[in-house]
Amino acid sequence: MANKTDDKTLNILLFLCNWGAHAAFLTLQDQLRPIPHEIRMVRVPCAGRIDRAMLLKAFAQGADGVALVGCEPGTCRYGSGSANSLQNTDDVQRILDIMGLGRERLCFGAFLPEESEELLSFLQNFADEINVLGPAGIEAVPVISALNADDLHQELRQLVAAYDIHACQDCGKCTSACPLALIGKPFSPRAIASAVITGGIHSPGVQENVWSCLTCGLCYDRCPSAVNFPAFIKELRHLYRHTALPGQEVHGGFFHSLMRSMSSAAITPRRWGGLPDEIRTDPESPILFFGGCAPYYDIFFGKHSRPQTNKILIDSLRLLNFFDVAPRLLTDERCCGHDLLWSGDKKNFERLARINVERLNGLGIETVITTCPECYMTLHTTYADEGLELKFKVVHLYDFLEEQLDKGAVDFEPFDQVITFQDSCRLGRLEGKVDLPRKLLKRLQPARFVEMKEAAGASICCGNCAWTGCDGYSKALQVRRLEQAHATGSDLLVTSCPKCQLHLACAMEDPFRREQLEIELMDLTSIIAQTIRWKG
């Protein structure tokens, strides 16, 4: 899909099923019927194989409208294609609504080979509709210039100097702590370090491992020379993008497309629809609650499981209300950009970060509260590191809660479950807030709280961070973590990051071991919201 050549012509992408509607389209072409000129057709073996990632990617790369044309349910050559198409269309339409593009920009149609006139009017109507809506507003992805060998060498040298990679003593403490290495993956942080020193970043093992790294920070924690490995990997991924080595984006790059689209100033997301009536918000409040990507997660992963990450946001708002804070919400809230940055897409991250900071600074707010560890780290630390100046302070919800709870007169209802806790790498190791969630956990009244074998500073990652490099080893890692949770005798695994919840729930889907692995998951915020009580 090429980006627009001039501003006047819109781009409409048509995915057309080979088996039914394509014949109708050919008839239109043979008879020189007036197919709208905005439409570019891509013939596909089955519309059901155009997954949600591809549909969204079309928009991310400049489409103003996308039509998916396949076969009536029941006439699909492969059986399930039509049902898939309908499901995928519905999911992406809901996502487009929240993104602010609007569901009208994506439509599904089904036509038989002889229904050429019907197809024509369908396409004409769609083109008319898109013309009324106008351009989607997603800017072209900035072209990353390829580096020549000398420049690359230079960049690598700078990287080595900036992160003091020569300080690596080759002691291997990193590898002996690395969760990926311990699960059996041929993965070694120090090997990546020496590959960068010698310039051999293109050797196959190294390249794959850079994308697999969890950036969980355990090696940094253990390194006697304090080589900041997560940050180093972050830069290295950025460098890989320069050398035309694509990242291993999982879920078909769905989330990367989503975030890239967010970096266009012209789109205006429509967040926070459908909040429960009792939630109190105040458009003038000096305190803003920043939600994060949870609504998108719930739609996308709803196909496989029933994630409830958006509930974390609603429970956060309930807790703020509980303490008489009616926060402001940003209806055009964008993504914080964490995953863009950590998957090497620095250009788009910078664009997005600048839009976010300008918007938030312009509101005249004093405080931003967030509950997502990644949003927290990005807003609180990364933006400042990137040289952006924030005119407000960024507070994690747990800090706010701890401060309020410390004032006292609040109780927690006892509940009859044994709980254990999955640390978030971002909040725990990278932001140094290992004790904070534990202070809150200790206030709760469960039957018992038992730490996992590897907990707090030594805690294991949930298996993925920026939607890159998930593989069989990631799954094995998650399974090990779930086994550790079971070994504590707990029946409730408390998480603090929506991604931990998604990834651990995914590992439980293992059809052979489901019963051994299954454990109830709940976010700390939600448990607090459920059991907190005024003493009265």
Partner 1 sequence: MSQPVQQSQTEIIVTGFGGQGIILAGRILGMAASLGDKKESTLVQAYGPESRGGACNAQVIISNTPIHYPYVNTPDILIAMSQAGYDKFVTALADDSVLLIDEDLVRLQQAPCDHFAIPATRMAENLGNKMMANIIMLGFCTAVTGAVSSRAAQVTIADSVPRGTSERNIEAFGKGFDYGLSTLKGRRKVAAGQAGALAS
- Interface with partner 1 (CB under 8 A): 276, 278, 315, 318-319, 321-322, 324, 407-410, 413, 528-536
Which residues on adjacent β-strands are paired with residue 420?
493
Give the shortest CB-408-to-partner 1 separation in angstroms: 4
Residue 513 dihedral angles phi and psi, to the nearest 5°: -120, 15
Q: Are 184 and 476 in contact (CB under 8 A)?
A: yes
Residue 296 near residue 334, CB atoms below 8 Å = no
**C-beta neighbour count of 487 within 10 angstroms:** 12
Shortest distance, CB of residue 437 to partner 1, whole angstroms?
18
Instruction: Return left, alpha or beta for 323; rule: phi > 0 is left, psi -120 to 50 is alpha, else beta.
Output: alpha
CA distance 155 to 153: 5
Radius of gyration of the chain (CA): 25
**Residue keyed to tokens 């250009």:** 347
The three state secondary structure string of 228-242 is CHHHHHHHHHHHHHH
Distance separating alpha carbons of residues 325 and 311, to the nearest angstrom:
18
Closer CB to partner 1, residue 156 or residue 532?
Answer: 532
- Nearest distance in Å: CB 414, partner 1: 14
Considering only the C-alpha atoms of the chain, give the largest distance between any 2 of them, rounded to a whole number of Å: 79
Q: Min. distance of Cβ 403 from partner 1 in angstroms?
A: 10
Nearer to partner 1, 358 or 413 (CB): 413
Helices assigned H by DSSP within 324-471: 338-342, 346-362, 373-377, 383-385, 397-407, 435-443
Q: Which is nearer to partner 1, 190 or 318 (CB)?
A: 318
Q: Tell the smallest beta-carbon distance from residue 277 to partner 1 (Å).
A: 9
* CA–CA separation, 248 and 465 (whole Å): 12
Our CB check for partner 1 shows the closer of 301 and 412 to be 412
* DSSP secondary structure code for residue 458 in this structure: G
Q: How far is the CB of 407 from partner 1 (least distance, A)?
A: 4
Q: Give the CA dihedral 119, 120, 126, 130, nearest 10 degrees.
A: 150
Q: How far is the CB of 323 from partner 1 (least distance, A)?
A: 9
Beta-strand relationship, 410-412 and 532-534:
antiparallel
- 68 or 527: CB nearest partner 1: 527
Q: Which is nearer to partner 1, 190 or 311 (CB)?
A: 311
Q: Do residues 418 and 491 lie in contact, with contact meaning Cβ atoms separated by under 8 Å?
A: yes
| Burial bucket for residue 385 (CB in 10 Å: 0-12, 13-18, 19+) | exposed
The pair phi, psi for residue 422, each rounded to 5°, is -95, 115
Residue with smaller CB distance to partner 1, 259 or 532:
532
**Least gap, CB of 366 to partner 1 (angstroms):** 20
Nearer to partner 1, 149 or 409 (CB): 409
- Shorter beta-carbon distance to partner 1: residue 301 or 415: 415
CB of 406 to partner 1, least distance (A): 8
Print the SS3 string covering 265-317: CCCCCCCCCCCCCCCCCCCCCCEEEECCCHHHHHHHHCCCCCCCHHHHHHHHH
Q: Closer to partner 1 at the Cβ: 380 or 438?
A: 438
Q: Retrieve residue 400's tokens.
A: 């706010």
Nearest distance in Å: CB 447, partner 1 = 20
CB of 278 to partner 1, least distance (A): 5
On whether the CB atoms of residues 311 and 525 are closer than 8 A, the answer is no
Q: Which is nearer to partner 1, 410 or 476 (CB)?
A: 410
